[in-house]
């Protein structure tokens, strides 16, 4: 047994045609920690067509059985046919000459020899050992089979299945009554798939058991008992570089095959689906605060009674600076005319906002003074001297403000017809913002839309503009 062989080296030995990208090596390193028992409970989410199943459901089972021929491995997928396909691929690897050179103690039946051992599309036994590989479709039976290592790959066929409450409920019932009952104290469990819905198996588990996001390698050694480790590969990088994902913000996971330009076009088509499938952050349509319900406009009305701006500087290094310029008509309808939505440093965002204020003919700008906003406001005022820039402290509860003002925002706020093309991140973050406040990663865009509504509608001092009363 070649106990020192790494999973990436094993993968290239049996599949020499593989072209491992940097993220594949990260993926395989985490899968190897799982194979060796260092991470007993692992969740991996990955965009489509990025090599998810090759690593987890083809190479990994063969590697696990090479390290431990007594291990009883099971593969499950949304259909028995797909699970059997994975099983046959694993068998072909184990039967190969390259595998025999690496793991000579792990062999399977060839033809009819030796007799007495099982080798079918759904089950194969390791000769002379207690281990083997089973495959089963979702809701299939595993009666009488103890499982040491369970791999669940793509338990939902597509969005139609994942969006079905009945199928999600059946999947959960099968998981708790079949998968969990076949496992023991030392069993390992890997769940890997592209996400479609926030209440899929991963979402349901995360609501009931501790899940830890993998951000640094040291976490492999510090997992608590019963904790799941979650490795999420975003198609387009958000946040700052880390040792797990050193990409810069906006970089594609696999530029050569799924480039940033192609991914951006997919996000424009359907931001809700993109956030789920490609970013690993699903939201149920019925759980969205705004969804696709913001009205759009083609041209501004003739009678504009006020042009203003609202800016919220970033709270932390991971947050966005959101600055929206807008116009108000005689009926109190608010038209967003321009936007800066960025995580650039203040010395870069200050001129961007100042240029926008001038470009949008803004007369008055309000900047939240929290988190350095006062200094930001002064800098912008110096760059745009004809605009009156004021700052103020926002002390009200953010969650209460956003949720209570959402109906008014949908009623009064309008965005340009092409805002999904002009400001794709702003569009994505607003249209996928959830009603469950703590489920959102970013609140910046919703906070600014709320602030505009508060200033133009809820603030009595601003209800009259040129004799017009806002209601």
For 252-275, what is the mean pLDDT? 90
Q: What pLDDT, on the 0 to 100 scale, is given for residue 467? A: 34
The rounded Cα 447 to chain-centroid distance in angstroms is 22
Of 302 and 32, the structure prediction assigns the larger pLDDT to 32
Q: Could you read off the pLDDT of 161-195 as tens digits, one per residue?
A: 888 889 999 999 999 999 999 999 999 999 998 88
Measure the CA–CA gap between 455 and 340, rounded to whole angstroms. 19
Q: Could you read off the pLDDT of 350-386 as tens digits, one per residue?
A: 999 999 999 999 999 999 877 778 899 999 999 999 9
| Nearest-10 Cα torsion for 410, 429, 211, 170 | 60
Q: Could you read off the pLDDT of 398-423 as tens digits, one per residue?
A: 999 999 999 999 999 999 999 988 99
Measure the CA–CA gap between 153 and 138, rounded to whole angstroms. 10
Find all residues with CB under 8 Å of 236, minimum gap 6, and list them: 250, 251, 252, 253, 260, 263, 264, 267, 278, 279
| DSSP state letter for 223 | P
Q: Could you read off the pLDDT of 82-94 as tens digits, one per residue?
A: 999 999 999 999 9
Measure the CA–CA gap between 242 and 231, rounded to whole angstroms. 13
Structure tokens at 192: 């890997």
Ordered by where they begin, the domains of the chain are: 7-267 (3.40.50.300), 295-469 (3.30.420.240)
For the sheet with 72-77, list strands across it: 123-125, 132-137, 72-77, 149-153, 188-193, 41-45, 228-232, 211-213
Q: Could you read off the pLDDT of 264-306 as tens digits, one per residue?
A: 888 888 888 888 899 998 876 667 899 889 999 999 998 999 9
Residue 50 burial (CB count, 10 A): 21
For 454-469, what is the mean pLDDT? 55
Measure the CA–CA gap between 118 and 210, rounded to whole angstroms. 38
Give the percent of the chain with pLDDT over 90.
70
Q: Could you read off the pLDDT of 424-456 as tens digits, one per residue?
A: 889 989 998 988 888 888 899 999 999 999 999
Q: Could you read off the pLDDT of 91-136 as tens digits, one per residue?
A: 999 999 999 999 999 999 998 889 889 999 999 999 999 999 999 9
Measure the CA–CA gap between 340 and 319, rounded to whole angstroms. 13
Q: What share of the chain is helix, strand, coil (3-state, %, to 5)?
A: 40, 20, 40
Measure the CA–CA gap between 84 and 75, rounded to whole angstroms. 9
Residues in the chain: 471
Measure the CA–CA gap between 299 and 376, rounded to whole angstroms. 31
* pLDDT tops 50 at residue 392: yes
Structure tokens at 383: 């760059």
Q: What pLDDT, on the 0 to 100 scale, is given for residue 369? A: 79
Strand partners, 304: 329
Q: What pLDDT, on the 0 to 100 scale, is given for residue 470? A: 29
Of 4 and 448, the structure prediction assigns the larger pLDDT to 448
- The structure tokens 């997928």 sit at 77
| Nearest-10 Cα torsion for 151, 157, 159, 164 | -90
Least confident residue range of 38-42, 52-56, 210-214, 236-240: 236-240
For 7-12, what is the mean pLDDT? 96
CA atoms within 13 A on the CB side of 193: 24
CB 74 within 8 A of CB 141: no
Q: What pLDDT, on the 0 to 100 scale, is given for residue 464? A: 40
CB 86 within 8 A of CB 190: no
Q: Could you read off the pLDDT of 304-348 as tens digits, one per residue?
A: 999 999 999 876 667 899 999 999 999 999 999 999 999 888 889
CB 298 within 8 A of CB 321: no
* pLDDT tops 70 at residue 206: yes
Measure the CA–CA gap between 94 and 102, rounded to whole angstroms. 10
Measure the CA–CA gap between 385 and 127, rounded to whole angstroms. 82
Q: What pLDDT, on the 0 to 100 scale, is given for residue 440? A: 86
């Amino acid at each position: 047994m070649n106990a020192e062989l790494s999973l990436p080296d094993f993968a290239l030995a049996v599949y020499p045609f593989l072209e491992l990208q940097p993220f594949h090596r990260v993926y395989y390193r985490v899968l190897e920690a799982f194979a060796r028992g260092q991470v007993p409970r692992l969740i991996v989410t990955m965009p489509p067509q990025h090599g998810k199943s090759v690593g987890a459901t083809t190479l990994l089972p063969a590697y696990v059985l090479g390290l431990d021929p007594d291990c009883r491995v099971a593969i499950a997928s949304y259909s028995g046919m797909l699970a059997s396909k994975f099983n046959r691929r694993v068998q072909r690897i184990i039967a190969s000459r390259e595998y025999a050179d690496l793991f000579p103690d792990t062999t399977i039946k060839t033809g009819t020899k030796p007799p007495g051992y099982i080798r079918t599309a759904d089950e194969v036994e390791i000769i002379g050992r207690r281990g083997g590989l089973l495959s089963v479709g979702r809701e299939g039976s595993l009666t009488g089979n103890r499982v040491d290592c369970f791999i669940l790959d793509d338990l939902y066929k597509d969005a139609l299945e994942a969006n079905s409450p009945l199928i999600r409920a059946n999947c959960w019932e099968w998981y708790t009554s079949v998968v969990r009952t076949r496992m023991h104290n030392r069993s390992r469990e890997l769940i890997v798939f592209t996400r479609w819905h926030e209440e899929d198996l991963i979402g349901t588990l995360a609501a009931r058991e501790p899940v830890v996001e993998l951000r640094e390698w040291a976490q492999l050694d510090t997992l608590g008992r019963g904790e799941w480790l979650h490795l999420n590969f975003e198609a387009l990088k958000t946040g700052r570089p880390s040792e797990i994902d050193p990409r810069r913000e906006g970089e594609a996971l696999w530029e050569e095959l799924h480039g940033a330009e192609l991914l951006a076009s997919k996000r424009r088509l359907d931001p809700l689906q993109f956030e789920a499938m490609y970013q690993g952050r699903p939201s149920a349509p019925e759980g969205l605060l705004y969804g696709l319900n913001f009205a759009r406009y083609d041209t501004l009305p003739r009678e504009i009674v006020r042009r203003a701006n609202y800016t919220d500087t970033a709270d932390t290094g991971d947050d966005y600076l959101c600055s929206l310029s807008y116009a108000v008509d005689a009926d109190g309808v608010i038209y967003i005319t321009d936007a800066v939505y960025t995580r650039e440093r203040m010395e870069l965002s200050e001129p961007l906002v100042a240029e926008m204020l001038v470009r949008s003919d803004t007369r008055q700008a309000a900047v939240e003074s929290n988190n350095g906003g006062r200094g930001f406001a002064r800098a912008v005022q110096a760059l745009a001297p004809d605009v009156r820039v004021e700052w103020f402290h926002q002390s009200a509860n953010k969650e209460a403000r956003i949720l209570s003002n959402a109906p008014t925002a949908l009623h009064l706020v309008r965005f340009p017809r092409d805002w999904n093309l002009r400001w794709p991140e702003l569009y994505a973050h607003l249209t996928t913002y959830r009603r469950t406040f703590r489920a959102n990663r970013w609140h910046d865009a919703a906070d600014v839309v709320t602030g505009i509504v508060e200033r133009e509608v809820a603030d009595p001092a601003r209800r009259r503009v040129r004799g017009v009363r806002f209601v």
